[in-house]
Every structure is written in structure tokens, then in C-alpha cells.
Amino acid sequence: VSVITVAAPRRPELTPDRLAFKNPSDLDDLRGKIRLVYRMAAHHGQEFLVLAAMGCGAYLCPPKLVASEMKFILLDAEFRGRFKRIVFAIYGSSLTGARNLEIFRDVFDGVVVS
């Protein structure tokens, strides 16, 4: 068992519709951190990942944006076939958590990683 932790963007400024980061640098930061987690796991031969909804809880990152970026990067040629199974541990008992869980489920529906 290995553990990789990375700090999510903390309460970034969002667009008025709250669906995206206002500052492009926050999106670049998020993408870099997602890629870092995947690279570290792949480098150390991890085949099974348990991931979180990076920053979508208390840090108020937009869940659809985060899920979409995590999926897009995962499907990049660099990571294709590197992992056998990925699951998301998303706390779903609050209103935000339940919404986050639903959004991640919708975004990743049908994705095959192996």
C-alpha cells in the first residue's frame, strides 16, 4: 500500500457561474497536481488507485471541472493502460458531497482504464 497526497487548489476564485476557475493559473495548477498523482502512482507500479474529488469539498473547487480534468488526463496516452482499477472515495452525506458523487459518477461513467 502506498499513499500519495497533494494539496488541491484552496478556494480559488471562480467564474460568476461557479463552473470554472477565474484564473488560468489555477487550472494549470490543478492539471499539474492531477498529472503528478498519476505519474507517481505509475512510476511506483501502483495498479489500483483510490482517489478523492480533489478540492471539491471544503476547498470549493468546481466538481464537474475537476472530474473532467481528472478523466481527460487519465485518458492521455501517458497513462493509458497503466492502471487496472480506479475508484473514487467521495464523501456523499452532505448536499455538496452527494452532488460531487453524482457528478464524478456521470463524468466517469463507462470509462475503462486497463
Question: What are the structural domain ranges in the chain?
Answer: 24-108
Residue whose C-alpha is closest to residue 53's, from 96, 2, 85: 96
pLDDT, tens digit, 9 for 90 and up, residues 45-54: 999 999 999 9
Q: How far is CA 14 from CA 18, 38, 89, in A?
A: 5, 25, 24
Backbone phi, psi, residue 51, to 5°: -115, 160
Q: Are 98 and 106 a contacting pair, CB within 8 Å?
A: no
Mean pLDDT throughout 4-26? Answer: 96
Q: Is the pLDDT of residue 94 over 80?
A: no
Assess if CATH 3.90.1580.10 describes domain 24-108: no
Mean pLDDT throughout 61-85? Answer: 96
Backbone phi, psi, residue 15, to 5°: -65, 160
14: DSSP letter: B
